[in-house]
Amino acid sequence: MNPLATLPTPTAVVDLPRLQRNIARMQAQLDALGVKFRPHVKTTKCADIVRLQVAAGASGLTVSTLKEARQFFAEGHTDILYAVGIVPNKFEAALALRREGCDLKLITDNMAMAQALGTFGRANGHRFELWIEVDTDGHRSGVAPGSDLLIELGLAIEAAGSTLGGVMTHAGASYELDTPEALAAMAEQERAGCVRAAERLRAAGLACPVVSVGSTPTALSARALPGVTEVRAGVYAFFDLVMANVGVCAPEDIALSVLTTVIGHQPEKGWAIVDAGWMAMSRDRGTQRQRHDYGYGQVCDAEGHVLPGYVLTGANQEHGILAREGEADPGIVQRFPVGTTLRILPNHACATAAQFPQYEVVTAEGALREWPRFQGW
């Protein structure tokens, strides 16, 4: 019997062989490119999974919240990059972590915070390590690699009393691409911009030892990374339908799915209703403008085999609408009787995983393990 048949639904299921394959693939890619790999733990927020990443060769972590830093420091990880611009209401929490022995690095892209952090550090007799966020694709935060501000910021960080530890960038615009050529070009753009920023800072007399780049698509598409010292990526551990559309994985590589049960039908509409709504799948519609719009997720059987053409076309809080893409299926009731167990692949693994307090992990032998994850800030 399928071990999942005993679980209540909805449940977040992790396919351990797929997870391990994804982890090994990224590590092999970055080992071959000769760079350190600093995984982003915001996707899984799970100590058991991070242990697998480190065992595979990862070194240092990237976090998106200070809660992640706190939790993973408690698990014994010390080299941690908090990759969201620091602000004063987080100074105390960052200081506490560093005083306890966490080698926490912070980032900024503006003079106000370079000054404020230095002032706060001096007032507390502490020297922070601050990195400059560089904008290499125009999608979010960061200073331009060729800007005067970059140099002013580097000098101000040191003058204010912090250490300039490096530069970092994230080419999130890579999520909008879907050809190997465009992805390789974006990886090179990300690399070149960040290396240029570091070289300009060094020419201004600053050490800037670290050059940190990354996103799952660019990390897997980079052909060479001269000048880069480390790469960051997160969603690759699970992968998801957005990444399948980008072209860096197949649906069969996706390690996270939501186990669900058929609870009813609307036969004339060709609908089966399942107990995975947006509370389980999240509201993420990341495939909406990609080459294949999977609605709220791709339907698989209970063993995880994709059932082509069947997706969640709609979602309420605890109800999902399962239908065939295109033409309605007149045999929906017979195909998916009430009580049928299914698995749904998510658009965006980071968002779907965040809806659950734990993962049910299925091993290669079909055994089940429960791995907790955490929520909040």
Q: Phi then psi for 247, rounded to 5 degrees?
A: 105, 15
Q: How far is the CB of 55 from a second copy (least distance, A)?
A: 25
CA distance 42 to 353: 10
Q: Which residues bind a second copy (CB under 8 A)?
A: 5-11, 42, 64-66, 84-90, 93, 108-110, 112-113, 116, 133, 135, 140-141, 172, 261-266, 273, 275, 278-280, 282-285, 316-319, 321, 337-339, 341, 348, 350-351, 354-358, 375-377
The least CB distance from residue 78 to a second copy, in Å, is: 22
CA 205 to chain centre: 34
Q: Any bridge partners for residue 291, and if so which?
A: none
Q: In this complex, which beta carbon is closest to a second copy, that of residue 202 or of residue 283?
A: 283
CB of 59 to a second copy, least distance (A): 23
Q: How far is the CB of 275 from a second copy (least distance, A)?
A: 6
Residues 336, 307: contact at Cβ < 8 Å?
no
**Closer to a second copy by Cβ: residue 308 or 357:** 357
Of residues 184 and 350, the one with the C-beta less far from a second copy? 350
| CB nearer a second copy, residue 35 or residue 132 | 132
Owner of token pair 């509201």: 283
Q: E-strand spans in 285-332?
A: 298-300, 306-315, 320-324
Cβ partners under 8 Å of residue 176, min gap 6? none
CB-nearer residue toward a second copy: 54 or 351:
351
User: Would you call 189 helix, strand, or coil by DSSP?
Assistant: helix
Shortest separation between residue 223's beta carbon and a second copy, angstroms: 26
Q: Is the peptide bond before 10 cis (omega within 30 degrees of 0)?
A: yes
